[in-house]
C-alpha cells in the first residue's frame, strides 16, 4: 500500500510538472507573438489593432495595440469597436443555416421561391439561382460595389439595379467576389423569419453568445471607444472619413471588439457549440465549411505566391487553402480605412481574429500565419517581412500601371466652351448621377449626392477632378459635345453619363 501511495504521488507530481511546462511553453509563445505584433505593426505603420486567439477551444489571448486615431493618445483595448467588414459573411451564412435547420429554407431552393420579384439580367440565372449560390460568388455577375460605395441607394434599390448588370462570365463557371448576393441572402432571411437581418443576427448569434458590444449596423454604434479609419497618404497614416456598409449589411456591416469576436470564434471552431447547445446542427456546420467552388489564382490572395497552396476554394462565407497539411478556413474584411481577418484550423481547434484601422494593411495575413506557426504547426518564417516585400512590390507595380492610364496632356489649350456651359446633371441608368455646377468661377461635381470634387481644366474638353476624399485618386472627366457644340455627356473610365434633358 505504501509503495502504491508513493507511485501515485510520483505520478501526480510528474503530471503537474508536465502541466507547468506546457503552461510555461504556451506563455513563451504568447510573449513571442506579442513582441512580434508590436514590432511589425510599426513596420506597416498601423495606428491601432486588436487580436484575439483561441487554442484548444480556450481563449488564450486578447489584446489591443496602438491608438484608435492617429495623433491622439486614445489607446486601443480589447473592448474597442472595429469594423468586421466581410468577415460578417460567415455570420450571415450561419443565420441561413439556422433557418435551414428549422426546415424553413432549403439550400437548393431557387431564390425566387422566397423573393419572387428578384431579377437579374439573364432570365436563366434569375430562375436557376439557388440559396447556396448566393454565398459562393459564382453567379456570373462581376463586382458591383459601385451600387453601394459612394452611393445613397437603399438596399431595395440596389437589388432593383442588379437586373441591369450584364454577366461577366457564365453561370457557375468561375468566381468573382460579389457582395450584393449576401444582401439578397439577408432579404431571404428577413422574408422567411419575419425579422430584418440585423435583428435576426443579434437575436440568434450575438445575444446567445454574450456579444454585448457587437452591433449589426454601423448606425447602431454609439460607442466612444471606436477605432477610426486611416489611409497611408504620402506614406503617413492619415485619418479619413468613416465609411459604412449598412446598405449591404449582411455582406459586411458588423462592428465588434476583440473580447466579443473571441466568443464567436470559439463557437465556430467547435461545430458552433456554446453553453451546452449549438447555433446550428453538426451536419450544417460541416456543410458550411465544405469546399463549394474553386477559386482561380486570379481571384485569390497574392499571399499564394509565397505560401503556395495546393488548393484554393470557397465554402459558404469562407476562403480556404491548405497549409502544412491542414485545411485553413479564413476570410478577410475590408472597408475604407480598416481591415480584419478571421482564420480557423478546425482539426486543431485553433483560431485567430485580427482588427486593424489602416486601409489594406496586409500585416493581417502575416500575423495569421505567424500565429499558426507559433501555436500549432511550427516554423520560424518571418511572414511580415516576406509579405511586406511582396505587397510593396505590388503597390509599386500598380502605381506604375495607374500612371500609364493618365491621359497625355496637350499643352496650350483652353476649354472649347465657357465653363457655365459644362454645368448640368448627367446620368447613367446603372452608375447613377453626376451634378456639375459652376460655383465661384469653378466647376464642382457631386456624384450620387454623396461624393464631391473640384474640376480644373486639363486640355480641350477634359477636366481633372480632385475629390474631397483625400484618399481617392483623381479622375478625368471628358465632356462629350454634339455637332452644335452642346454638351451631351461625360465619359469617365469608359462609362458615359448622358446629360439630362430639360431644366438643369
Task: Evaluate whether residue 412 is within a structural domain.
Answer: no
pLDDT of residue 10: 47
Distance, CA of 333 to chain centre: 3
Please list the residues that pair with 215 across neighbouring strands: 255
Cell numbers found for residue 88: 460578417
The verdict on 383 and 456 lying in the same domain is: no
The answer on pLDDT for 73 being more than 60 is yes
Distance CA(199)–CA(85), nearest Å, equals 18
- The DSSP bridge partners found for residue 319 are 314, 330
Per residue in 272-303, pLDDT tens?
Answer: 999 999 999 999 999 999 999 999 999 999 99
- Tens digit of each residue's pLDDT (9 = 90 or more) over 337-369: 999 999 999 999 999 999 999 999 999 999 999
Asked whether 253 and 218 are in contact (CB, 8 A), the reply is yes
What is the pLDDT confidence band of residue 6, given thresholds at 50, 70 and 90? low
Identify the domain boundary among 399, 428, 456. 399
Domain membership of residue 10 (yes or no) is no
Pair 229, 357: CB distance under 8 Å: yes
What CATH number is associated with residue 358? 3.40.710.10
Residues 430 and 348 in one domain: no
* Same domain? 434 vs 334: no
Q: If you average pLDDT over every residue of the chain, what do you get?
A: 95
Q: Say which residues have a Cβ less than 8 Å from residue 136's Cβ, sequence separation at least 6.
A: 175, 292, 293, 314, 316
| Residue 290 half-sphere exposure toward CB, CA atoms < 13 A | 8
Give CA–CA dist 90/448, Å, rounded: 30
Closest CA to 415 of 497, 477, 353: 477
Confidence band, pLDDT 50/70/90 cuts, at residue 405: confident
Residue 18, pLDDT score: 53
**Cβ-Cβ contacts under 8 Å for 399 (sequence gap 6 or more):** none
Tally of CA atoms within 13 A in the half-sphere of 261 that contains its CB = 36
Same domain, residue pair 444 and 488: yes
pLDDT score recorded for residue 103: 98
Question: DSSP code of 75?
Answer: B
Q: Is the pLDDT of residue 61 over 90?
A: yes
Cell numbers representing residue 415 in the block: 476649354
How would residue 23 be classed by pLDDT, with cut points 50, 70 and 90? confident
Are residues 333 and 473 located together in one domain of the fold? no
Model pLDDT for residues 442-495, shown as the tens digit of each residue: 999 999 999 999 999 999 999 999 999 999 999 999 999 999 999 999 999 999
Q: Which three cell numbers stand for residue 446?
A: 457631386
Distance CA 188, CA 100 (A): 12
Output the pLDDT for position 8: 47
Q: Which residues pair with 231 in a beta bridge?
A: 238
Last residue in a domain, options 336, 371, 399:
399
Question: Looking at the chain, how many residues does it have?
Answer: 504
Regarding whether 494 and 433 lie in a shared domain, the answer is yes
Q: What is the CATH number of the domain that holds 451?
A: 2.40.128.600
Q: Which residues of 310-339 are buried (b: 16+ CB within 10 A; e: fewer)?
A: eebbbbbbbbbbebeeebbbbbbbbbbbbb
Residue 22 pLDDT exceeds 70: no
Residue 502 reports pLDDT greater than 70: no
Cα 365 to Cα 252, 306, 333, 489, distances in angstroms: 19, 12, 12, 44
Q: Which three cell numbers stand for residue 57?
A: 477551444
- Same domain flag for 64 and 144: yes
Percent of the chain's residues with pLDDT above 70: 95
**Which pLDDT tens digit goes with each residue over 86-102?**
999 999 999 999 999 99
**3 is a domain residue:** no
Cβ 199 vs Cβ 317: under 8 Å: no
Residues 252 and 386 in one domain: yes
Q: Which domain holds residue 463?
A: 419-499
Same domain membership, residue 225 and residue 127: yes
Domain count, the chain: 2
Pair 220, 267 in one domain: yes
Q: 104-133: per-residue pLDDT in tens?
A: 999 999 999 999 999 999 999 999 999 999
Q: Out of 333, 366, 399, pick the residue that ends a domain.
A: 399
Is the same domain home to 360 and 443?
Answer: no
pLDDT average, residue stretch 390-409: 92
Reference 362, options 393, 345, 339; nearest CA is 339
Helix (H) or strand (E) holding 148: none
Vertex 369, ends 212 and 349: CA angle to 5°?
Answer: 55
Are 357 and 230 within 8 A, CB to CB? yes
Q: How confident is the model at residue 56 (pLDDT cuts 50, 70, 90)?
A: very high
Please state, in angstroms and rounded to a whole number, the distance separating the CA atoms of residues 239 and 226: 13
Q: Which residue has the cell 513596420?
A: 43
Q: Is residue 257 part of a domain?
A: yes
How does residue 504 score in pLDDT terms, banded at 50, 70 and 90? very low
Distance between CA atoms of residues 386 and 302, nearest Å: 12
Query: pLDDT band at residue 503, thresholds of 50, 70 and 90?
Result: very low
Q: Cell 449560390, residue?
A: 133
In this structure, is residue 167 part of a structural domain? yes
Do residue 253 and residue 108 come from a single domain? yes
Residue 347 lies in a domain: yes
Residue 198's nearest CA partner among 265, 272, 268, 250 is: 250
Picking from 84, 337, 318, the residue whose alpha carbon sits closest to that of residue 211 is 84
Query: Does residue 251 carry a pLDDT above 60?
Result: yes
CA 200 – CA 216 distance, rounded (Å): 10
Nearest to 481 by CA among 430, 437, 424, 429: 424
Report the C-alpha gap between 142 and 147 in whole angstroms: 12
110 domain-assigned: yes
Report residue 333 as a C-alpha cell: 474584411
480 assigned to some structural domain: yes
Query: What pLDDT score was predicted for residue 3?
Result: 60
Q: Classify the phi-psi angles of 275: left when phi > 0, otherwise alpha if psi is within -120 to 50, otherwise beta.
A: left
Amino acid at each position: 500500500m505504501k509503495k502504491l501511495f508513493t507511485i501515485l504521488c510520483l505520478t501526480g507530481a510528474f503530471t503537474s510538472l508536465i502541466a507547468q511546462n506546457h503552461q510555461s511553453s504556451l506563455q513563451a509563445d504568447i510573449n513571442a507573438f506579442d513582441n512580434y505584433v508590436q514590432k511589425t505593426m510599426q513596420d506597416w505603420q498601423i495606428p491601432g489593432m486588436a487580436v484575439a486567439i483561441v487554442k484548444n477551444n480556450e481563449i488564450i489571448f486578447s489584446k489591443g495595440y496602438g491608438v484608435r486615431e492617429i495623433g491622439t493618445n486614445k489607446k486601443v483595448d480589447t473592448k474597442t469597436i472595429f469594423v468586421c467588414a466581410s468577415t460578417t459573411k460567415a455570420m450571415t451564412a450561419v443565420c441561413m443555416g439556422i433557418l435551414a435547420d428549422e426546415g424553413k429554407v432549403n439550400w437548393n431552393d431557387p431564390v425566387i421561391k422566397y423573393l419572387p420579384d428578384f431579377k437579374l439580367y439573364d432570365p436563366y440565372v434569375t430562375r436557376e439561382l439557388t440559396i447556396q449560390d448566393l454565398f459562393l460568388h459564382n453567379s456570373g455577375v462581376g463586382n458591383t460595389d459601385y451600387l453601394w460605395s459612394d452611393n445613397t441607394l437603399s438596399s431595395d434599390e440596389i437589388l432593383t439595379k442588379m437586373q441591369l448588370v450584364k454577366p461577366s462570365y457564365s453561370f457557375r463557371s468561375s468566381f468573382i467576389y460579389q457582395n450584393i448576393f449576401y444582401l439578397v441572402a439577408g432579404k431571404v432571411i428577413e422574408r422567411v423569419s419575419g425579422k430584418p437581418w440585423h435583428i435576426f443576427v443579434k437575436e440568434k448569434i450575438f445575444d446567445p453568445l454574450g456579444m454585448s458590444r457587437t452591433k449589426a449596423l454601423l448606425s447602431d454604434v454609439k460607442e466612444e471607444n471606436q477605432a477610426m479609419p486611416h489611409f497611408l497618404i504620402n506614406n503617413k497614416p492619415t485619418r479619413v472619413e468613416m465609411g459604412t456598409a449598412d446598405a449591404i449589411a449582411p455582406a459586411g456591416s458588423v462592428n465588434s471588439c476583440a473580447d466579443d469576436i473571441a466568443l464567436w470564434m470559439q463557437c465556430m471552431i467547435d461545430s458552433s457549440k456554446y453553453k451546452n447547445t449549438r447555433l446550428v446542427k453538426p451536419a450544417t456546420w460541416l456543410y458550411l465549411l465544405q469546399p463549394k467552388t474553386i477559386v482561380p489564382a486570379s481571384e485569390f490572395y497574392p499571399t499564394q505566391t509565397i505560401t503556395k497552396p495546393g488548393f484554393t476554394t470557397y465554402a459558404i462565407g469562407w476562403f480556404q487553402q491548405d497549409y502544412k497539411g491542414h485545411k485553413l478556413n479564413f476570410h478577410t474584411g475590408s472597408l475604407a480605412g480598416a481591415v480584419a481577418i478571421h482564420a480557423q484550423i478546425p482539426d486543431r481547434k485553433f483560431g485567430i481574429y485580427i482588427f486593424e484601422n489602416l486601409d489594406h494593411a496586409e500585416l493581417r495575413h502575416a500575423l495569421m500565419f505567424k500565429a499558426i506557426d507559433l501555436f500549432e504547426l511550427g516554423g520560424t518564417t518571418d511572414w511580415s517581412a516576406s509579405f511586406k516585400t511582396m505587397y510593396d512590390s505590388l503597390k509599386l507595380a500598380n502605381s506604375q500601371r495607374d500612371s500609364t492610364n493618365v491621359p497625355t496632356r496637350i499643352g496650350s489649350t483652353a476649354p472649347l466652351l465657357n465653363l457655365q456651359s459644362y454645368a448640368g446633371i448627367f446620368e447613367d441608368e446603372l452608375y447613377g448621377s453626376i451634378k456639375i455646377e459652376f460655383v465661384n468661377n469653378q466647376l464642382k461635381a457631386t456624384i450620387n449626392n454623396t461624393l464631391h470634387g473640384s474640376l480644373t481644366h486639363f486640355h480641350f474638353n477634359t477636366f481633372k477632378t480632385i475629390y474631397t476624399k483625400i484618399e481617392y485618386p483623381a479622375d478625368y472627366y471628358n465632356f462629350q459635345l454634339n455637332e452644335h457644340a452642346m454638351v451631351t455627356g461625360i465619359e469617365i473610365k469608359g462609362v458615359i453619363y448622358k446629360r439630362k434633358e430639360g431644366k438643369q
